[in-house]
Each structure stands twice: as C-alpha cells, then as structure tokens.
Amino acid sequence: MFEPHRPLGREEICGPDAATRALSVTAVENDFVYKVYEYLAPVYDYTIGLGLHPGRLDAISRMRIRSGDRVLEVGVGTGVNLSLYPRDCAVTGVDLSSKMLEKARKRVIRKGLRNVRLAEMDAANLRFADHSFDLVYAPYVISVVPDPVAVTREMLRVCKPGGRIVILNHFRSDSRIGSWLERVISPFTLYLGFKSDLDLPAFLVQAELEPLSIEKVNIPRIWSLVTCAKS
C-alpha cells in the first residue's frame, strides 16, 4: 500500500530537460555587456549597486574567509566588495569593463588596500594557472555574462581542490507569475546589465555544481548565495 521512501533524484528536482534547456530567454555578447558597463560605471555605486549591498554583507560574513586565503573576485566592478575582505587575505579582482575597473583602482588607493590587485580580463577566459585560489567568488555576475556555464568552468579550474566557489545572484523565481514576469522583462533588463530570468536548477546541472548550501539574501530575499566546494 505504501511505497518505500525514495530520495528524489537530481532530474526530478531540476526537471527532465535541465541539462539542455536554455538558461534564459535572452542571449547577449561580451561587446554588448562591455558597452552597458562602460555606460553604467559613473552611476553604478549610487544606483543598481547600492540596493545590492545587504547581500554583499551577508555573503562576506557567511564565507568565513581565513587568514592567508587567496581570493578571486570575478566581475569586481567598481570594487564595492574590496574593503569588506579581511586585510590578511590576498584578493585578486578581474573585470571586463575598463571604466568599472578604473573606479575600483581609485577605491583601492583611497582606502589603502594593499592586499588587492586588479586586472582587466574576461571571466570566461581567466589568465590564471589551475588551482590558484582558495575561494572564487562571483557577486552579481553570473546573470550578466553571455555564458554562465563557461565562466563557472573557469572558476572551477582556477580554484584549488578543497576550495570554494561562491555565487551571489538573482535567479528566476519559483512562482509561476514571478517567473513569467522575469522572462518578459529579461530582454529589457539586459540594458541594466543583467538577465532577470536565469534558471538556477538548469544552471547547476549544466555547470556540474553540487551546492553545499543555497541561502536567500538581500531585501527582498530574491537573491541567492550559492556555496559549492571543489572536490
């Protein structure tokens, strides 16, 4: 009469086509993203960037960075996170946009951050050796890049075995109305620098990530902090 309890498989949780379905209704190229952020750079900190700060603070406190850790921040932008890292870890920040990086460089000087180095680089083609970092962190970036899976592969490659990959991002809502709305507006949110409808279950399957935890952060709590270990 009763079926024995059977844990749900990945496919049942993520959907049968998670390995192949499109992550978003939109597609974007690096050239477009570059132009958007060159344009946003002067106002980013006071507009889009401002409302995202509670999530950054939550992420930093939950990451428990250790003394001496080597941290890579992918999509460092204007460097809003840089003064949040402990001063006794070594931080490398990379970004596609030269204007966002220019802001980050000024911030590093203004705040006297001697533990930070910055470089212009495409996150899908990181110029670092394998296993270079203890923590690879992508705050508000994975829904910005053209190919989130390629970027995650690079993040995994440069992370040391036993290290962590942390992704802070907005993903498509679980609710029917929310997800419908996010798909409708996604072609327009591209002009604000992100896709509003990135599919988290499909992304996790395609990027071959098995999260240790997924926590909701920010206000409202519609952003996710996804923490994964590199085995």
Ligand X SMILES: C[S@@+](CC[C@H](N)C(=O)[O-])C[C@H]1O[C@@H](n2cnc3c(N)ncnc32)[C@H](O)[C@@H]1O
Q: Which residue's CB is nearer to ligand X, number 37 or number 163?
A: 37
Residue 171 interacting with ligand X (CB under 6 A): no
Q: Which of residues 183-222 bind ligand X (CB under 6 A)?
A: 193
Contact predicate 92/72, CB 8 Å: yes
Which of 28, 59, 69, 77 contacts ligand X by CB under 6 A?
77
When CB distances to ligand X are compared, the closest residue is: 77
> HEC profile for 172-224?
CCCCHHHHHHHHHHHHHHHHHCCCCCCCHHHHHHHCCCCEEEEEEECCCCCEE
Q: Which residue's CB is nearer to ligand X, number 14 or number 168?
A: 168
Residue 83 interacting with ligand X (CB under 6 A): no
Min. distance of Cβ 131 from ligand X in angstroms? 20
Q: How far apart are the first and last CA of the chain?
A: 41
Burial annotation 152-191 (CB, 10 A radius, 16+ → b, else e):
bebbbebbeeebbbbbbbbbbbeeeeebeebbeebbebbe
Residue 71 interacting with ligand X (CB under 6 A): no
Min. distance of Cβ 43 from ligand X in angstroms? 12
Min. distance of Cβ 12 from ligand X in angstroms? 33
Token pair in block for residue 36: 């958007």
Q: Which residues bind ligand X (CB under 6 A)?
A: 30, 33, 37, 49, 52, 56, 75-77, 80-81, 94-97, 100, 122-124, 139-141, 144-145, 193
